[in-house]
Structure formats: structure tokens, C-alpha cells
Amino acid sequence: MPPGVVAAINNREALVALESSVLAQGLPEPLNLETARACQEAVRREGATPVTIGVVDGVPLLGLSDREMEIFATGKAPDGSNIEKVSLNNLAAQALRGSWGATTVAATMHIACGGGLKVFATGGIGGVHRGVADSFDVSTDLTVLGRIPLICVCAGAKAILDLPKTVEQLETLGIPVVGYRTEEFPAFYSRSSGLPVDVTVHSPDEAAEVAWRHWRSGITSAILVCVPVPEEFELPAAEIGRATEQAVEEASRAGVRGKKLTPFLLAQMEKITGGRTLQSNRSMLINNASVAAQIALCLNQK
């Protein structure tokens, strides 16, 4: 672990977990590394410590060095093998093989919680996929959110998902959906979805207070703090809807499913929108990291 992370953990300072899949699979080079570093800097500017989580040589790490982040950004481990996308189902396999792995929302939250962290920032969570009645494709992110006491700061769920079913599943799992200065569940690239949140908060301290009271009541699920994408980077819902339908059709024709589906759909939408979804994604990642750091500082005082 980087010395700064070790010192912050030992001193019980405010920490924010960040995922590594955005480096290896989420964004193209060189935007992936630039964005990951911008997220870290956003956390530091607020006075908290960023903890980018990944698996190196089979070992889950709380914090990656600059060199390790550069390697993750290439998508290739030092031995030339692909850096695999790691969730809960293949985390043990990474340890067995001693390989490199980029952690998803689910794996990042699992490792972060084991290290005592309480706040995590990402772009958008996974959820219930369209056509779930045929595919049974539901992200492990929801399972982890239902059982790990962590604040997850996001811009809602990825727009390629079935958002109404995702919100319904969040309710079923007992996960409070907190709107950060919004009364609607954000739709990733769009600021609203027409779906209500459970409660609206207007400050980092209010968000931390909701989490503190939730856990104090004996409930061990996560808190989903939903922050709309910055207004200047919002894409119209109708445009995103059309792009999503086109991307889904392309995936069906290509026979893409499972772990490869989400990266494929996001890449297709980038092409369809002329790269605008990419810039929107970058902006929400950095903005969410900043908000997460503010919440972590408030939570640290409770």
C-alpha cells in the first residue's frame, strides 16, 4: 500500500474507496489514467485520502501505487496477460492464480469494507438488465449493496439497465436510495428518470447522518447516495434512450452477454453519441469522488 494510505488508515482519517475497473476496462487510454488520477485529486482537495483498490499478484490491495495504476491503465499485467475484471465470483480465483485483477463495484466494496472503509465513489452501479426475464442478468452490485455497510456515492444506475426494476430491487434489499440535492433517481447520463428516491438530502452532513442512523438501527445494508451528473455534461434522456436501444440491438446481433455486455454497450453508446457519453462519464466520476470525500469527512466526525 502507498505510505499515505497506510498513515491515513492508522490515523483514522477520512478515506474514500475508488475502483480499478475504470482503469482497466471502463475508459479508453489515455483518458482512463487521467480520469482515475483526477478522481484521486478531487478526494484530496476535499481533505480526504483516496484508496484505489485492485488485485496485484493475487493480493487485494487497499491503495495502488502510481506505477501500478499505470499498469492497470494498459489492461495488461507485467507478464503480458490481460488484467481481468474481478467481482465476487472470481476474486478467489485471482488469488489462486496470483494474477492481476481490476475490481468492480461489488469487489471494491467488499475489499473496502474488509479494510474498515465506509465510503466508496463510482460512476454508476450495476443493476437489473433489460430482458431479465429471459437472461436472469442481475448485477452482483445489488447483492453487495444489500449486505455491506458502506456509503456508495454514484450517479444512479447505468443507463443501459432497466431502471424501474433496479430501483424496485434496491427497495427489496432494504437499501436506502438517497437523492443528493435531487428528488429523482438519476439516470446516469441524465439528471432525472421520473423515479423517486427514498429521501433527499442537501448537504454532505445530512447524507452522513442518514447512514449513521441507518446503521445505528441495526441494518447492515449500504446507503446509495445518488448525485446527478453535472448539468453541463447531461445528455437528454430521449437521446440516451435511442442510443441504448441501438446498442442493445448491436449486442444481441453480436451475441454479447455476461461480463462482456456492459463494456460492449457503453462502447457502442460512445460511438453512437460521438464520444459525449465518455465525457459525461468522466465528469460524474470526478464529481462523485468530490462529494464522497465531503461525506467521508462528515461521517468521520460521528
Question: CA-to-CA distance for 154 and 37, rounded, in angstroms?
Answer: 18
Class of domain 3-299 (CATH, top level):
alpha beta
Number of Cβ within 10 Å of residue 226's Cβ equals: 26
Q: Which residues pair with 223 in a beta bridge?
A: 151
User: Using one digit for the tens of pLDDT, what is the confidence trace for 132-175?
Assistant: 988 898 999 999 999 999 999 999 999 889 999 999 999 999 99
Question: CA-to-CA distance for 166 and 289, rounded, in angstroms?
Answer: 23
Say if CB 95 and CB 78 are below 8 A apart: no
Question: Is the pTM above the cut of 0.85?
Answer: yes
Question: CA-to-CA distance for 31 and 277, rounded, in angstroms?
Answer: 13
CA atoms within 13 A on the CB side of 130: 15
Task: Write down the mean pLDDT value for the chain.
Answer: 94
Question: CA-to-CA distance for 61 and 180, rounded, in angstroms?
Answer: 30
Question: CA-to-CA distance for 39 and 21, rounded, in angstroms?
Answer: 14
Average pLDDT of the residues in 202-224 = 97
Sorted by where each begins, the domain ranges of the chain are 3-299
DSSP E strands in 134-194: the ranges are: 151-154, 177-180
Q: Which residues are catalytic?
A: 19, 158
